Amino acid sequence: MEPLLERRHQLQEAIAAATAELDQVENQMIAELGGAETCIVDGQPVYSFTPHGGVATKRLRTDRPDLWRSYLVPSLKFDTRAFKADHPELYAAYRGRALTVHHQP
């Protein structure tokens, strides 16, 4: 197991470093747009930074809590505790799983 744990650790470090560098490069690309949505080189779009997906609700909640509150709606929620109590065997079968490493080389 020791070689696998060591390799896993090396890969995690490499991913973290690459992710940080990718974030820096992408932030630079966005800054280069200067507020435009699309970078065009020789008449061809190279990359764009356009709105997509939903609203950044965490940021809206922080910046405009009054507005955020006015759009709250009730939602259905799965009662995990009741499900566990009523169907312990199904609860065990449907539980999510994650790899947890307890030892770093």
pLDDT tens digits, one per residue of 24-53: 999 999 999 999 999 999 999 999 998 888
Does residue 32 sit within a domain?
A: yes
Residue 21 lies in a domain: yes
The pLDDT score that the predictor gives to residue 103 is 75
- At 43-98, the pLDDT tens digits run 999 999 988 888 899 999 999 999 999 999 999 999 999 999 999 999 999 999 88
Decide if 41 is inside a domain. Answer: yes
- Asked, for residue 46, whether it belongs to a domain, the answer is yes
d(CA 47, CA 49): 7
Q: How many domains does the chain have?
A: 1
In a domain, 84, yes or no: yes
Of the candidates 57, 10, 47, the residue with the CA atom closest to the CA atom of residue 25: 47
Spatial separation of the C-alpha atoms in residues 6 and 53, rounded to whole Å: 38
DSSP state of 56: -
Task: Classify residue 87: in a domain, yes or no.
Answer: yes
Whether residue 99 lies inside any domain: the answer is: no
Q: Is 6 within the bounds of a domain?
A: yes
Q: Which domain holds residue 10?
A: 2-94
* Residue 62 to residues 59, 65, 102, Cα–Cα distance (Å): 5, 6, 36
pTM of the predicted model as reported, rounded to 2 decimal places: 0.62
